[in-house]
Structure 1
Amino acid sequence: METQPNNPLHCVKLEQIITELEAHYGWEYMGHQINIRCFQDNPSLKSSLKFLRRTPWARTKVENMYLNMLKQQNLKKES
């Protein structure tokens, strides 16, 4: 197994990504930023995981949102 020290998504599970995003932004904001029904209509972790695991384009958007959140948090720590 190769190591990926510069990949912030390495060893981060999709469930953890969604949980952290929901805690930071909330479902309403996430549904506004990424137009997918599992974030807008009766959102839940289970429905989001099911949809994102079989929809690569949506998962990429969620992962990018997570990376942006991490970047913002790092900028706040530095200042």
Structure 2
Amino acid sequence: MSEPAAAPKPANPLHGVTLKMMIEHLVERYGWPGLGERITIRCFTHDPSVNSSLKFLRKTPWAREKVESLYLHSVAHPRKQPRVATPD
């Protein structure tokens, strides 16, 4: 008797992406002020740093969910690169 085929697992878009990688990506894209406007938490608005953000987000599931959501949105909608003027 053969074993049933394993059901395909849905792809996890966050697989292999660390929380630190997410924060660094978001800071590069929005800067600390922009990140603090999008997700209003003290670790982004008052003396922000990657380490303080990691400590807070690891202990606070609702805030981590917001960071993950913003990260997924930013990856799905990359910013358009400005066109470089070409000499005629």
Give the TM-score normalised by the residue count of structure 2. Answer: 0.77
1:44 aligns with 2:36: no
1:7 aligns with 2:12: yes
Percentage identity across paired residues of the two chains: 53
How many residues matched? 73
Give the TM-score normalised by the residue count of structure 1. Answer: 0.85
1:30 aligns with 2:28: no
Rg (Cα) greater in structure: 2
RMSD: 1.9
**Structure 2 stretches of 5 or more lacking a match?**
1-8, 81-88
Q: Given residue 48 of structure 1, which amino acid in structure 2 is its aligned partner? A: S
Residue number among 54, 57, 63 corresponding to 2:68 in the alignment: 63
Structure 1 residue ranges, 4+ long, deviating more than 3 angstroms after superposition: none
